[in-house]
Amino acid sequence: MSEALPRPADDAAEELPEYPLPRSARCPLAPAPAVRELRARHPVTKVRIWNGSTPWLVTRHADQRALLPDPRVSDDDLDPGFPHVNAHRAMIAPVTPRLITNTDAPEHTRLRRTVNGPFLVKRIERMRAPVQRIVDDLIDTMLAGPRPVDLLTAFALPVPSLVIAELLGVPYEDHDFFQRSSSLVLDGAAAPEEARRVSGELAAYLDDLIKRKTDDPGEDVLSEMAGRVRDGEMSHTEAVHMGVAMLIAGHETTATMIGLGTLALFEHPDQLALLRETDDPKLIANAVDELLRYLTIVQTGVRRVAKEDIEIGSVVVRKGEGIVFDLHAANWDPEAFPEAERLDLTRPARTHQAFGHGPHQCLGQNLARLELQVAYGTLYRRIPTLRAAAPIEDLSFDRTGTTYGVHSLPVTW
Amino acid sequence: MTTTRVELDEPKCVASGQCVLAAPEVFDQRDDDGVAVLLEEYPGEELLHDARAAEAVCPAAAIRLVER
Ligand code: HEM
Ligand code: HEM
Ligand code: SF4
């Protein structure tokens, strides 16, 4: 596995910043302080990552917008220069089939068009009523139960789990298995062998479920993919891996946004009051985008490799060199968002890059927005006295996984 | 007076639907594969703001507004 070996370091490389950059010792959630300096002075610069390789780091909003849709910027994670997020990802890349997450146009375009039917704006909008019901039921249960309660286990984790199950057509009784498995696969601290075993179990389960849906289709994503497999538009293996990808990609991300979003609102009571007192769908939609921007939970995970030489500003990224896109840096770029460090639910926030940019921009973004609109739009209105039940200093934060989140959030009302 | 024309580079489109959300009267999505469909090639004054927002949010750089 040559891509996991350190490259020979030249002298200059000795002094490169280690990436991810160190966080502030005092605030668990503020972006790394050094990012600000890099963005202002060295917006495209080399860094050193876990395996000793030295990809470029891109921190400005405008540069990310220019590079991410550029066809010379590739998602081919088998390229020796691809800057993998961690050892586990580097290890599984050669045994992962080609999916939307690791292909470029035209293959990526073909694959993505086979799976995006259920994510069309019109079809997602039809899920609003079921999502509202899921959210209302969970709040009913919370209100009937003991206080304090952990908001993550009582609300933030079950919302996306139930919604994705509804979308994919996964039977309810298998939810526990899904929640545990997808968390483990996403956990960067998990042993690679363990993560690989659990991904295998998930794939085997979906493999079987898709076969059952071929004979007995419903109105769900897996049935739709089963239909495409039957018609020869995609292979069975592609369908299985897409199912796993959606499950994993949509679960912890959305849960983290519900948990961290609530925490951020507790810290900004005036902004929480705005949400509690409104039923204006436009304000709620804008609040969701602003929280996505402010928190940018996929902070350091967007990685690419150059397939040609690319000039950007005063540097040339050479063919075969890796590129890391720090989405948080772009979303806090004062040139794109004045007073970026301020949470302002009414600011224009729609051009944030929390879902990435370019052809790989989040497939599930319309669903994620819907879930967050319903969750934020309902939770604080129905429980107006909702508040943290433990000192914020006592919370523990996840610094290892793909997304950046809080482990538990005790709340009361 | 200048008119503004919307150009949609269909092969680039990744069917994200962001244009439909930003400018529902200017763009739609094909039902089968989600690829964007241009409803108003020459959006009038009242739709220009939305059309510009669509250009700004398109992740694939597939939308361009051209002044003529
Ligand atoms: C708030 C929640 C979410 C956030 C912040 C988020 C973030 C992201 C980001 C940053 C990417 C781009 C990765 C890259 O360019 O390398 C991405 C891709 C993706 N997301 Fe999400 N996501 C969320 C929810 C979801 C949901 C709900 C689903 C599905 C049900 C989903 C499915 C996907 C898939 C399949 C991709 C790969 C797309 C491709 O490579 O073409 N995500 N997401
Ligand atoms: C969603 C939640 C949070 C967000 C988005 C957030 C964001 C921030 C930001 C942007 C700063 C300014 C950093 C700078 O000037 O470089 C900051 C400072 C700080 N935060 Fe947080 N924070 C959050 C939660 C917390 C929590 C839970 C704690 C307590 C454990 C905390 C403790 C602090 C402290 C002590 C500082 C001052 C740091 C210093 O001056 O060095 N924050 N935070
Ligand atoms: S926003 Fe761009 S990529 Fe998305 S559907 Fe519209 S034209 Fe296509």
The string of pLDDT tens digits covering residues A26-52 is 787 788 889 999 999 999 999 999 999
A4 part of a folded domain? no
Mutate to test the pocket of ligand 2, among A21, A29, A376 (most ligand atoms within 8 A of CB): A29
Q: Phi-psi category of A358—alpha, beta or left, where left has phi over 0 and alpha has psi -120 to 50?
A: left
The string of pLDDT tens digits covering residues B20-58 is 999 999 999 998 889 999 999 999 999 999 999 999 999
The residue ranking higher by pLDDT, A84 or A391, is: A84
Q: What confidence score (pLDDT) does residue A7 get?
A: 44
Q: What confidence score (pLDDT) does residue A203 get?
A: 84
CA nearest B29 in A: which residue? A120
Q: What domain range is A69 assigned to?
A: 11-412
Lowest mean pLDDT among A28-32, A117-121, A179-183: A179-183
CB A64 within 8 A of CB A71: no
What is the Cα–Cα distance from B34 to B14, expressed in whole angstroms? 8
Q: Examine the pLDDT at A4 and tell me if it is beyond 80.
A: no
What is the Cα–Cα distance from A259 to A277, expressed in whole angstroms? 20
With CA atoms as reference, report the closest residue to A149 among A273, A260, A141. A141
The string of pLDDT tens digits covering residues A340-372 is 999 999 999 999 999 999 999 999 999 999 999
The string of pLDDT tens digits covering residues B12-21 is 899 999 999 9
Contact B34 A69 (CB under 8 A): no
Lowest mean pLDDT among A203-217, A332-346, B52-66: A203-217
Bond into A148 cis (ω within 30): yes
Number of domains in chain A: 1
The CATH number linked to B18 is: 3.30.70.20
With CA atoms as reference, report the closest residue to A375 among A143, A137, A183, A141. A137
The residue ranking higher by pLDDT, A85 or A399, is: A85
Q: A354 to chain B: which residues are within 8 Å by CB?
A: none
Q: What confidence score (pLDDT) does residue A187 get?
A: 60
Q: What confidence score (pLDDT) does residue A9 get?
A: 44
Per cent of chain A over pLDDT 90 is 58
Q: Is A2 exposed, middle or buried (0-12, 13-18, 19+ CB in 10 A)?
A: exposed
Q: B18 to chain A: which residues are within 8 Å by CB?
A: 365
Q: What is the dihedral sign for C-alpha A403, A404, A409, A413?
A: negative
Q: A112 to chain B: which residues are within 8 Å by CB?
A: 14-15
Q: Examine the pLDDT at A6 and tell me if it is beyond 50.
A: no
The string of pLDDT tens digits covering residues A233-249 is 888 988 888 887 787 78
The string of pLDDT tens digits covering residues A308-324 is 999 998 899 999 999 99
ipTM: 0.91
Per cent of chain A over pLDDT 70 is 93
Q: Is A164's C-beta closer than 6 angstroms to any atom of ligand 1?
A: yes
Contact B34 A120 (CB under 8 A): yes
Q: How confident is the model at residue A218 (pLDDT cuts 50, 70, 90)?
A: confident
CA nearest B20 in A: which residue? A121
Q: Is A390 exposed, middle or buried (0-12, 13-18, 19+ CB in 10 A)?
A: middle
Q: What domain range is B8 assigned to?
A: 4-67
Question: A112 at the B interface (CB within 8 A)?
Answer: yes
A2 part of a folded domain? no
Could you tell me the CA-to-CA distances from A262 to A132, A217, A371, A375, A412 in Å, in that order? 18, 38, 14, 10, 13
Q: What confidence score (pLDDT) does residue A194 get?
A: 86
Number of domains in chain B: 1
Q: How confident is the model at residue A283 (pLDDT cuts 50, 70, 90)?
A: very high
What is the Cα–Cα distance from A339 to A358, expressed in whole angstroms? 25
A125 part of a folded domain? yes
Q: What confidence score (pLDDT) does residue A401 get?
A: 54
Angle at CA B54, nearest 5°, toward A109 and B35? Answer: 30
Residue A215: phi, psi to the nearest 5?
Answer: -85, -30
What is the Cα–Cα distance from A222 to A239, expressed in whole angstroms? 8
Nearest listed ligand to the Cα of residue B30? 3
- Closest residue (by CA) to atom 1 of ligand 3? B58
What is the Cα–Cα distance from A114 to A154, expressed in whole angstroms? 34
Q: Examine the pLDDT at A295 and tell me if it is beyond 90.
A: yes
Contact A351 B31 (CB under 8 A): no
CB A62 within 8 A of CB A43: no
The CATH number linked to A370 is: 1.10.630.10
Beta bridge partners of B7: B64
What is the Cα–Cα distance from A33 to A13, expressed in whole angstroms? 21
Q: A368 to chain B: which residues are within 8 Å by CB?
A: none
Contact A351 B17 (CB under 8 A): no
Q: How confident is the model at residue A392 (pLDDT cuts 50, 70, 90)?
A: confident
